[in-house]
Chains A and B, each alone.
Chain A
Amino acid sequence: MNPLIPLFVAIPLSGAFIDMILGRFIKGFSRYFTPVIILALASMSIYSAATAGTNPSVYYVGGWEPVKGIPVGICMVMDGFSVLMLCIINIVGFLSAFYSISYIKRFTSDNFYYALFCLMTAGMNGVVLSGDLFNIFVFLEISVISAYALVAFGVEKNELEASFKYQVLGSLASFFILAGIALIYWKTKTLNIADIRETLKPGYDRPFYIFVELLILSGFGIKAAIIPFHAWLPDAHSSAPSPISAMLSGVLIKAAGIYLIIRLFFNLFEINESVAVLITTLGALSMVIGVFLAIGQWDIKRLLAYHSISQMGYVVLSVGMGMILISRGVRHEIAMLAIAGGLYHLVNHAAFKGLLFLNAGAIEYTLGTRDLKEMGGLGKSMPATSATSFIASMSISGIPPFNGFFSKIIIIIAAVMARFYFLAFLAILVSIITLASFLKFQRYAFYNREDAKVEKGIKEVPFPMVFSMVIMSLLCIILSLLAFPGIRDAILTPATDILTDPAKYKDLVIGI
């Protein structure tokens, strides 16, 4: 058993409480301690990605091994897909925590901020590592409840309203998820994902099954803000402190929403065509409507938040196309390509959307406003912010040679090869509108105005913020390497393999 697996949860969890205790006595302790522990987690996750991708491992908590193929304890699974998510969570988490060193000085009570930050990281690590349905729910609630508190961290009118909206919709989602889990438990008498898959297979009660699938899909759909369920996202993501927006948008909607939709619909449920078509439709809808809602926004963080919905649409769309192909049982390699494209876009979105929110935070830190109309001419006075945000904008709009181009082109190629020409057309159209909207962001924020109204006394943000932004923009460029065959085989292929081959997942968890 790999002892690193429980440490991914235990380290940030104890870090949160150490922050609360020692931060009370030593001033500024939590500010430096939190980035250090999340850096440790990030290096652990990179190490695991190098080792566990091809060689997945299972951890039985408390040493309760399965008896005769029936799991009796809680198990944690580290496979290719989990490792990918762990890397995203901990690397973006470290950069956000490091960025917060300067950014959070404007707020009081930073101990609470860092403790909640660690709790959120612990929850998300737990979600992606857990192989047990109820355990997933518990960790999901840990991360999401910390997120509610962090959204309200500014305690002004807007923040509280956004947090309240998020809490109401989030609780509704939790209810759906819990109801779905309860129904599954009622029918199968087990909570282990691999075991449920085995038990549900013979007695295939179709209406019940579809009902559970819809409950789970709407629950995680709310957490992931797919389009009919998106109402909370623009408010919550724009009112949170900027490093938290980067975490929420870059990581939380993926770990708590998209990851679980993908994991459960591939590894727990049998893929059937009607649900696959539904997921693809939801993806296409959020891709198109999200971008049209985004283009009219003048508040930078709202604009970025709507683009999160749209980019998540790409991921859901391409995974959905893969599901349709698998359910029809035709052209398996194209299905693999579509799923790999979706996962690749998931990783890329974490890099560029995290970076864009950090840029928005830097602008807000300097100017004190989020309104695009009041900005302008920042290109000269803030060169690092301007350059990094240019890279991120080009990445998200799919301009070569940045990472967004490669993942979008894979999705579009997969759609064309699978003969979903309309979806391919939509993906290209949305990409063009995204480009338009980010050109607007670039022009109004950095170039438009050369007059001296905003010029006075504006200088570049402090070192920790610049450092995080530069590292993120380097990631945006480096991640384009994932498109090349050798590296793709090492990182993306294990993830798609474990998803498309449920028997492999079952053998891994239960043993033979």
Chain B
Amino acid sequence: MTMIVKKTTQLIAGLIFLYGIYVIIHGHLTPGGGFAGGVIIAGSFILLILAFGSDFLRLTREEAGSTLYENLAILIVVFLAVSGLLATGKIFFLNWIPKGTPGELVSAGILPLYNIFVGIEVAASVLTIFLALVIFKEELAE
């Protein structure tokens, strides 16, 4: 890619990343949430890979890392669901953390936690799918 594309990407990738984080942590207050924010975060990574070419990042190592993050995040989501079962009595997926004031950033009990980990999960898995396709194409070319 040309210099212009690379510089522009460098400028906006961080902003996109931040916007993704914003969408995730305000998931329980505004439209959006874990899934939408996760896709935006993955978009910023994918933009960097597209602009700088596949040799910019060591793609296979990157893919191993994103797979690991994906598995960890979804595992934590399952554990959060089970924590409701363990914390108070017998109810799976129970919102057992105190709810706080509606409208505040730190409120709605366990929902922001679900949003954050679902966000990580979606970002990592969309990135993994993209990387798997790129790696497959590179392997095919050889």
Contact = CB atoms under 8 A, between A and B. Distances in A.
B85 A61 contact: no
Nearest to B78: A14
A61 B93 contact: yes
Contact-residue bracket for chain B: 10 to 19
Contacts of A202: none
Contacts of A59: 92
A368 interface: no
Contact of B91 (A13, A21, A24, A62): A62
Given A3-B85, A17-B78, A62 B94 contact: yes
A401 B75 CA distance: 47
A62 B94 CA distance: 4
Interface in A16-64: 17-18, 20-21, 24, 59-63
A293 to B, nearest CB: 37
B129 interface: no
A1 interface: yes
Contact of A3 (B68, B71, B90, B93): B90
Given A10-B81, A14-B79, A21-B75, A61 B92 contact: yes
A1 B90 contact: yes
B85 A62 contact: no
Interface in A53-85: 59-63
Given A6-B92, A61-B92, A63-B91, A18 B85 contact: no
Contact of B71 (A7, A20, A60, A61): A20
A14 B82 CA distance: 10
B68 to A, nearest CB: 7
Q: Is the interface of B mostly helix, strand, loop or mixed?
A: helix
Given A6-B85, A13-B78, A14-B75, A20 B92 contact: no
Interface in B92-123: 92-95
A130 to B, nearest CB: 13
Most buried by A among B75, B84, B92: B92
B50 interface: no
B72 to A, nearest CB: 6
B74 interface: yes
Contacts of A13: 78
A480 B71 CA distance: 43
A3 B82 CA distance: 10
B10 interface: no
B67 interface: yes
Nearest to A62: B93
B75 A17 contact: yes
A20 B121 CA distance: 14
Contact of A63 (B74, B82, B94): B94
Interface in A263-292: none
A463 B85 CA distance: 38
Interface in B45-83: 67-68, 71-72, 74-75, 78-79, 81-82
Contacts of B78: 10, 13-14, 17
A31 to B, nearest CB: 18
B94 A17 contact: no
Nearest to B86: A3
A13 B91 CA distance: 18
Contacts of B79: 14
B95 to A, nearest CB: 7
Contact of A10 (B72, B82, B91, B95): B82
Nearest to B64: A24
B60 to A, nearest CB: 14
Nearest to A9: B92
A62 B67 contact: no
Contacts of B92: 3, 6, 10, 59, 61-62
Nearest to B92: A6
A20 B70 CA distance: 10
B5 to A, nearest CB: 36
A10 B74 CA distance: 12
A18 B79 CA distance: 11
Nearest to B88: A63
A21 B68 contact: yes
A17 B93 contact: no
Nearest to A21: B71
A1 B91 contact: yes
Contacts of B91: 1, 60, 62-63
A49 to B, nearest CB: 20
A258 B75 CA distance: 31
Given A3-B85, A10-B81, A20-B67, A62 B95 contact: yes
Contacts of B94: 62-63
A489 B110 CA distance: 45
A20 B92 CA distance: 24
B55 to A, nearest CB: 25
Nearest to B91: A63
B133 to A, nearest CB: 16
A65 to B, nearest CB: 10
Contacts of A10: 78, 81-82, 85, 92
Contact of A18 (B75, B82, B95): B75
Nearest to B79: A14
Contacts of A7: 85
25 contacts: A2-B90, A3-B85, A6-B85, A6-B93, A7-B85, A10-B78, A10-B81, A10-B85, A10-B92, A14-B75, A14-B79, A14-B82, A17-B74, A17-B78, A18-B75, A20-B71, A21-B72, A21-B75, A24-B68, A59-B92, A60-B91, A62-B93, A62-B95, A63-B91, A63-B94
- Sorted nearest first, the 3 A-B pairs with minimum C-beta distance are A6-B92, A17-B75, A3-B90
Given A3-B90, A21-B75, 14 more contacts: A1-B90, A3-B85, A6-B93, A7-B85, A10-B82, A10-B85, A14-B79, A14-B82, A18-B75, A20-B71, A21-B68, A24-B68, A60-B91, A61-B93
